[in-house]
Structure 1
Amino acid sequence: MADTEPTEGTGPAEEEEKAGLLGWCLVANVARETLHGEGGLDLQHGMKHFAAGALLWIPPVPWDPGHCRWPAVGRHRGNSRRYVSMVVRAEDLENFRVKGVYSEALVRRLNGRRHDPAAPRTLQNPWSREDAQNWADRWNQPREALRIDGRSYPWMTVTNPPPAELCVDGETLHLAHYGTRGAHYSRTPPPVERTPGP
């Protein structure tokens, strides 16, 4: 569901009302608990640069910073008055949704180096409301890591619970095991159980 109200805490209310709606953006909150370190055994509250629950604005990605890593704009843990840009892991985010952009300071940070001072209220690479909502719906579904014949594919995920069969590049894969490390698929179909005849 899209949020059409002025954003909270993005500046003086009078400035936001004067600016009006400047565009739409995909947003998410930093997860309360994030996993780091070898094997994901280091449990932390939030991220190094963003507090747990912090609102992050996610512009459309014009470049690939790495699988399931996105540039994001938010208020830094140590300075809640200014927006900063960081690359974050998608798995550290939750509660994806669409919000309206009302702040020129936010537009400036979302635009980054492409910002045009002559057009301070123009998003250079805007989301359409529909595209942002589609991304939000997709990322709000529980997803699981995918392994095929023992090999990890970190850029591919499946729904939770995973389907018994999965088609990847025209090839049918079969669910072999589902556990704490995600869904394990095999190219080999499961053995057929023989039932004794009468």
Structure 2
Amino acid sequence: MTDTETPDDETPDGLLGWCLVANVARETLHGEGRLEVQHGTKHFSAGTLLWLPRVRWDPGHCRWPAVGRHRGNSRRYVRMIVRAEDLENFRVKGVYSEALVRNLNGYDHDPAAPRTLQNPWTREQAQSWADSWKVRREPVFIEGHPYAHLRISVPNPPPQEIQLDGETLHLAHYGTKGARYSRTAPPVERIPER
């Protein structure tokens, strides 16, 4: 156990709640075809600690509101929507700052209760989310499959074959936009005999 962790039966002094956190990835992909590599994001430097509050609405597929210290002003917290793929090192941390609580609450903040998180994580919920995001996943596209519009993902790197509805699908292409699977098996390379 590290010095920042506490036993499950012990609550640290001054703890206002638990929160899911992550760091901004060192390299993020942007631009057409996602070929432009940047260090961090427009608003957050690489490695910046971002606090991810529980949300009641979905800001878009794999996008989350995040609270962190802005690239241009490291003294104040700002709240922005970030892509989950631009984050790494998911984990759980305790919230101790009233300024952080104010930003995590956003428009729901109650000035009469400045130390109260309005939609708090439980430690178990946040840990479950952190564990699920630690494994990098790639979107899957299935050629000629009736479920091609469904959002399915596989680990990174993707397996050569997956099973879906009792059918074996073969990896046809893997690139920056995810893994493409096909019903057709890949051609077998013939090695000439000598």
TM-score range, shorter chain: 0.7 to 0.9
Shift of 1:166: 3.7
Alignment partner of 1:165 is 2:162: yes
Identity over aligned pairs, percent: 66
**Separation in 1 of the partners of 2:181 and 2:88?**
26
Q: Which residue of 2 aligns with 1:179?
A: 174
Q: Which residue of 2 aligns with 1:137?
A: 131
Shift of 1:62: 1.3
SS of the residue 2:45 aligns to: coil
Shift of 1:67: 0.7
Amino acid at match of 2:62: C
Alignment partner of 1:61 is 2:58: no
More strand by share: 1
Residues 158/23 of structure 1: CA separation in 2 closer, same or farther (3 Å cut) = same
Gaps of 5+ in 1: 6-16, 194-198
Q: Which residue of 2 aligns with 1:72?
A: 66
Alignment partner of 1:44 is 2:38: yes
Amino acid at match of 2:175: T
Amino acid at match of 1:46: G
**Separation in 2 of the partners of 1:134 and 1:81?**
30
Shift of 1:150: 6.9
**TM-score between the two structures when normalised by the length of structure 2:** 0.81
Q: Which residue of 1 aligns with 2:77?
A: 83
**Residues 97 and 133 in structure 1, CA contact (< 8 A), matched pair in contact too:** yes
Residues 173/134 of structure 1: CA separation in 2 closer, same or farther (3 Å cut) = farther
Of 98, 105, 127, the match for 1:111: 105
Residues 111/155 of structure 1: CA separation in 2 closer, same or farther (3 Å cut) = farther
Residues 154/74 of structure 1: CA separation in 2 closer, same or farther (3 Å cut) = farther
Gaps of 5+ in 2: 7-11, 189-194
Amino acid at match of 1:179: Y
**TM-score between the two structures when normalised by the length of structure 1:** 0.79
Task: Calculate the aligned-residue CA RMSD, in Å.
Answer: 2.8
Q: Which residue of 2 aligns with 1:196?
A: none
Deviation string 1:47-79 (CA, Å, 9 cap, x unpaired) is 111011000000112111111111000000111
Deviation string 1:125-181 (CA, Å, 9 cap, x unpaired) is 0111111111111111021121111797695321124342243xx574613324224
- Size of the aligned set, in residue pairs, is 178
Alignment partner of 1:156 is 2:152: yes
SS of the residue 2:60 aligns to: coil
SS of the residue 1:79 aligns to: coil
Q: Which residue of 2 aligns with 1:14?
A: none
